[in-house]
A and B are shown apart, each in its own frame.
Chain A
Amino acid sequence: MSLRSPLGRVLGLGSAKEGVHHWWSQRLTSIALVPLTVWFTVSLLTLPSLDHTTVVAWMAQGWTALLMLLFVLVATWHSQLGVRVVVEDYIHGGAKTLALVLSSFVHGVVAVAGVFAILKIAFGGAA
């Protein structure tokens, strides 16, 4: 038996049944990002130099490329989830929709650009 009123249901009020998925994705990505972000920060800060040759040689290694792909994908996913919550909480009306669309597009571009760049470097195309 549902306790929701027929009027409420017609007006589309109440849960959209996506909250748990969002919550769970946020947790999963944050757990994964603890080691990934620490790895990335420590790696970047301990590279002998940030010139092109050094960074490309580092990133072209199999494990580095794999971890970089994971880092970029998980970080953009986590970021998208987080920005979405902030937008939903503080921006309202048409501006909210616009901000959500913009955020989705920008996060999509960042994720794809990151993956493309890492793969290009890993396959030796950045020389």
Chain B
Amino acid sequence: MPERPLSPHLFAYKFKYTLASSIFNRFTGLILSVGLLVLAYWLMSLAGGTREYAQARAVLSMGIFKLFYAALLFAFAYHLAAGIRHLIWDTGRYLERDQSKKSAAFIAVVSVLLTLVLLYAAFFSGGRAP
């Protein structure tokens, strides 16, 4: 195969926050993909019965996992907002440069607010997180 130019380049472009919003969408998507591994483990232990579930819960309630759940909630909030932005783009709306700049800021704000709500629900309203 001939050497062909490869795209995209992470460091060849001038940094813009529309670019950051796109990279961040990928990054949060990857975090959520890792979350699916944890989900599968949790479901399998749940199906395995009370003893297996108790063991899994001991693992899944370690500090590092709590940190990961917080990251997951933020990744979910951001990826959801950014995903809806993409779906709106697909209808041909809000594609102009100043519009996409505005929507990048908008989804950043919305996802931070949504994350705060989710974090509160998960960790502070009775401390339900495993």
Contact = CB atoms under 8 A, between A and B. Distances in A.
Number of chain A interface residues as a range:
35 or more
Number of chain B interface residues as a range:
35 or more
Contact of A41 (B76, B84, B130): B76
Given A30-B87, A37-B76, A89-B8, A121 B46 contact: yes
A22 interface: no
A12 B83 CA distance: 33
Contacts of A45: 118, 121-122, 128
Interface string B14-36: 00000000000010011011001
Interface string A24-67: 00010011011001100100011101101001100100000000
Nearest to A126: B47
A91 to B, nearest CB: 11
Contacts of B6: 92
Contacts of B36: 75-76, 79, 107, 110
Contacts of B98: none
Contacts of B46: 52, 55-56, 59, 117, 121, 126
A116 B1 contact: no
A125 B118 contact: no
Interface of B: 1-2, 6-8, 10, 26, 29-30, 32-33, 36-37, 39-40, 43-44, 46-50, 53-54, 57, 73, 76, 80, 83-84, 86-87, 90, 118, 121-122, 128, 130
Interface of A: 11-13, 27, 30-31, 33-34, 37-38, 41, 45-47, 49-50, 52, 55-56, 59, 72, 75-76, 79, 82-83, 86, 89-90, 92, 106-107, 109-110, 113-114, 116-118, 120-121, 125-127
